[in-house]
Amino acid sequence: MQMPMAFSVLWLLQLFLLMKTAVGAHLARGEEQLEALLATETQLIDELRDNIERLELQLAEIQRETSAIAEIHGQVDNVEEFMGNPLNVLGILKRFESVWPRLEQQANETLLISSEGSSLERDFTLTLPSEEDYEESLNHLLHLQSVYELDPSSLSLGLVNGLKLGSAMSWGDCLEMARKSDFAVARFWLESALEKLPSASENSTESQRERESGRVHILEAALNIEYRAGELARALATAEQLLVLLPMNQNIQKAKRKIEKAMAKKELPKGRRPKSKTKKSKSAEQLLIEELCRGATQEPNTGSRFRHCELKGSRPWLLLQPSRLEPLSSDPYVVLHHDVLTPKESAQLLELIDEEDTNAVGSYQPLKLSKLAQKKLKKINHLGLETGELDAWTGRRHGHEHSTKLEDSSQLGNVARVMLNLQPPGMGGAVVFPQLELAVNVPRGSLLHWHTRSAGGSSSDWDYRSGQAVCPVLLGAQLSVIACQHNVMRHTL
């Protein structure tokens, strides 16, 4: 009986040892797994910390960009006045063209908000500009620069004729202006773009990347502009500068060989001609108009080149309310009537003008006048102005987005015209008579009166000297009303 019991004890002892070994092996494997899990968790924590740092950098950049835009946006006290500045218009369109899409992408990446399935529901419709709007804004600014011969380096700083008009332009804005300009003007815009790149003293990685990328973009645009203008020597020098930055770029190497080949033949590439030769030249009259416009921006906003005023008392009512006249020309008759309306009356008329749902036509935007406005304007006849019979008044708005166009009355039956200025612009907008070499800045509440028919001929003889144009507006907007006259009495100065 003892043997089986001893065998049983030995068997139990062996079983206990086997179980202990198995448990030990299991525990050893558990410790290894726990150590592996701890190592994985440590790695995940490190990766999350790196991700948090990247998100914080993105959020800091978004905050910085948003604060900068908010600072500009907070300066808008008057929307009409702010948008009357062509530099401000270009700036806001540029933000929608480049800055806001980039910020939206960063926000989507940071906050995991998809552009289609956004969890943010707006109770209003967003108004977004198109690419054409930005292109038109560039063209308008180029037109103003051409007419008023604005210096690109000053304009890029927001300065016009020594006055600070708006925020400084970015190097990208200057580059776009260069791409749309002829070589003679483009090279100055390219120089301004290079000057606006981040300086070498800025050691941040982002600034260095922007400086290197921007320099390449500017030199590539310069190469294209110079080559198309036939400036082969300049184009070759630019290509060599690009090859220093991008020595393995095949397109630049190909362009360099093409330029060298053209220079060896001492002729322009086939099908290429300088832009300056293909561009339609301006007429002598247009050049004179632009010269008058530039001269008018340097004068006080009071009237003509003459400083002679006259009080007339030939009518009984003028003894109580005299009319202050400023004669500008005797033949043809051109006179400026000062203070026809008070500032309060001009402001009341502006409230009766509808600017909505109107499209730009020619060099001005037509405005709709209410019946009450027409009624108030008819009272001008009782101020001693010998106007004869006036047609209905029509409103006009001239802004920086409108081009200069010479107007005449050769196809109309009127013999004279009157222009009443309700809101003068901050700069520009003078009325010029090129044949008379006369430029007039019409003050607020004043009326410009001129004949369109020859004094010595019949009413059907149009006087070409009465042809007039309105200069582009550099700042603000000019709102005026126009009326035509019939059966006018002849005036003598």
> Same domain, yes or no, for 84 and 220?
yes
Write down which residue in 248, 272, 296 finishes a domain: 272
Paired residues of 327 in beta bridges: 335
In the chain, the number of structural domains is 2
Which contiguous run of DSSP H or E holds residue 300? none
Tens-digit pLDDT profile for residues 243-294:
998 888 899 899 899 988 888 876 555 555 544 444 567 788 888 988 899 8
Looking at the structure, do residues 173 and 226 belong to the same domain, yes or no?
A: yes
* 220 and 357 housed in the same domain: no
Residues 318 and 428 grouped into a single domain: yes
* Residue 489: per-residue pLDDT: 53
Mean pLDDT of 379-388: 56
The whole-angstrom separation of Cα 273 and Cα 108 is 47
- Residue 2 belongs to a domain: no
Rounded to 5 degrees, what are φ and ψ at 352?
-100, 10
Residue 74 included in any domain: no
Same domain, 455 and 339: yes
Q: Which of 272, 301, 323 is the last residue in one of the domains?
A: 272
71 domain residue, yes or no = no
Contact criterion met (CB below 8 Å) for 390 and 418: yes
Longest dimension (CA), the chain: 158
What integer best gives the mean pLDDT of the chain? 76
User: Domain containing 139: what range?
Assistant: 79-113+129-272
Phi, psi dihedrals of residue 103, rounded to the nearest 5°: -65, -40
Least confident of 14-28, 206-220, 400-414, 448-462: 14-28
51-98 pLDDT, tens digit per residue, is 788 777 777 777 777 777 777 777 677 777 777 778 878 777 777 777
- Give the tens place of pLDDT for each residue, 86-138: 887 877 777 777 767 666 666 666 554 444 444 445 555 667 777 788 888 88
**Whether residue 248 sits in one domain with residue 293:** no
Amino acid at 38: L
Contacts of 422 (CB under 8 A, 6+ apart): 341, 346, 349, 350, 353, 444, 445, 479, 480, 481
Contact criterion met (CB below 8 Å) for 197 and 190: no
The verdict on 224 and 314 lying in the same domain is no
Buried b (16+ CB within 10 A) or exposed e, 226-244: bbbbbbbebbbebbebbee
Task: Report DSSP letters for 127-186, one per residue.
Answer: P---HHHHHHHHHHHHHHHHHHT--HHHHTTTEETTEE-SPPPPHHHHHHHHHTS-HHHH
Is residue 36 in some structural domain?
A: no
Residue 366 pLDDT > 70: yes
Question: H or E stretch including 336?
Answer: strand 334-338
Taking the C-alpha atoms of residue 204 and residue 213, their distance in angstroms, rounded to an integer, is 14
pTM, to two decimals = 0.72
Cβ-contact 350, 422 below 8 angstroms: yes
386 and 253 co-located in one domain: no
Q: What is the CATH number of the domain that holds 352?
A: 2.60.120.620
Indicate whether 208 and 326 sit together in one domain.
Answer: no
Look up residue 240 and give its two tokens.
């060599």
Question: Of 272, 302, 328, which marks where a domain is finished?
Answer: 272
Q: Do residues 329 and 247 share a domain? A: no
pLDDT digits (tens, 9 = 90+) for 159-190: 777 777 777 788 888 898 898 888 888 989 99
Whether residue 181 is contained in a domain is answered as: yes
Beta bridge partners of 438: 433
In a domain, 438, yes or no: yes
Shared-domain flag, residues 243 and 340: no
User: Which CATH number fits the domain that encloses residue 222?
Assistant: 1.25.40.10
What mean pLDDT comes out for the span 303-308? Answer: 47
Which has more pLDDT, 323 or 395? Answer: 395
CA angle 267, 273, 276 (to 5 degrees): 125
Beta strands at 427-428 and 389-390: parallel, antiparallel or unpaired: unpaired
Most confident of 112-116, 313-317, 393-397: 393-397
Residue 318 lies inside a defined structural domain of this protein: yes
Instruction: Identify whether residues 234 and 339 lie together within a single domain.
Output: no
Q: Is residue 300 part of a domain?
A: yes
